Amino acid sequence: MIIKELIQTTDHLTTISENATLADALTVLEDTGYRCIPILDKSGTIFRGNIYKMHLYRHKSRGGDMTLPVTTLLKNATKFISINDDFFTIFFAIRDLPYIAVLDEQKHFYGILTHNHLINMLNSAWNVQTGSYVITIKANEERGFLVTVAKEITRYCQISNIITLNPATEKQLIVTLPEDVTPQLLAKITKRLRKKQIEILHVEDLKQVASRS
């Protein structure tokens, strides 16, 4: 389920009615600086799709009629999610879009979830700003492997966050340690993991990451 705080609701959005023309849409996009905005039906409750500045410019440059209805260049008519959808449905639906429309339980337009808001949420969940180190561990398929890793690390400190990545080459555990972990404590943790034949692929100092950003 989407965290509602991440959604920009209708009353905070620039939208355009399906009654508008292409010229109207281009004016709105140029005035606001947005690259696309949602198109809603006459009642302002039903999501029809998106209109993109780039498509308007292309149409105009080719001598296209700018008095045509905005729906002439409508895109992403089926690109929307429900406010009750799970995280993975949302993640894969939005990955190629600047934002995705969010519908409420009555299928009415509720607002949008932007790509940036979702990435910022993941960044916050990963504790990049408040963690100390990220340890990347080569995972195996043995039963209880995750429990073993957690047990060995929590001998010394709490775990701020842990996620699993499954790239084509090898499955990995990405473990974020809390901000109070010192280099000396990190050395003890990594030594303990290696003693248990847990392969460490990489250790990253988040303070150095922050200084580069």
Please check whether residues 98 and 131 belong to one and the same domain: no
Model pLDDT, residue 183: 96
Model pLDDT, residue 157: 96
Pairing relationship of beta strands 161-165 and 99-103 according to DSSP bridges: unpaired
Please check whether residues 14 and 94 belong to one and the same domain: yes
Return the SS3 of 96. coil
Please check whether residues 39 and 76 belong to one and the same domain: yes
Res. 210: pLDDT tops 60: no
Domain count, the chain: 2
**Overall average pLDDT of the 179-205 stretch:** 95
Single residue among 76, 102, 121 that ends a domain in this structure: 121
Task: Measure the CA–CA gap between 107 and 105, rounded to whole angstroms.
Answer: 5
Please check whether residues 21 and 108 belong to one and the same domain: yes
Single residue among 82, 101, 121 that ends a domain in this structure: 121
Single residue among 71, 94, 121 that ends a domain in this structure: 121
Which tens digit of pLDDT belongs to each residue from 81-104?
A: 999 887 778 888 888 899 999 999
Res. 129: pLDDT tops 70: no
DSSP characters for 12-40? GS--EETTSBHHHHHHHHHHH--SEEEEE
Please check whether residues 111 and 143 belong to one and the same domain: no
Please check whether residues 116 and 196 belong to one and the same domain: no
119-128, 129-138, 176-185, range with greatest mean pLDDT? 176-185
Percent of the chain with pLDDT strictly greater than 90: 69
Res. 121: pLDDT tops 80: no
Host domain of residue 43: 4-121
Please check whether residues 167 and 80 belong to one and the same domain: no
Please check whether residues 52 and 151 belong to one and the same domain: no
| DSSP 8-state symbol, 157 | S
In angstroms, the Cα distances linking 161 to 16, 88, 91, 96 are 41, 18, 19, 26
CATH code at position 68: 3.10.580.10
Question: Quick one: pLDDT band at residue 78, thresholds 50, 70, 90?
Answer: very high
Ramachandran sector of residue 111 (left: φ over 0; alpha: ψ -120 to 50; beta: rest)? left
Question: Quick one: pLDDT band at residue 213, thresholds 50, 70, 90?
Answer: low
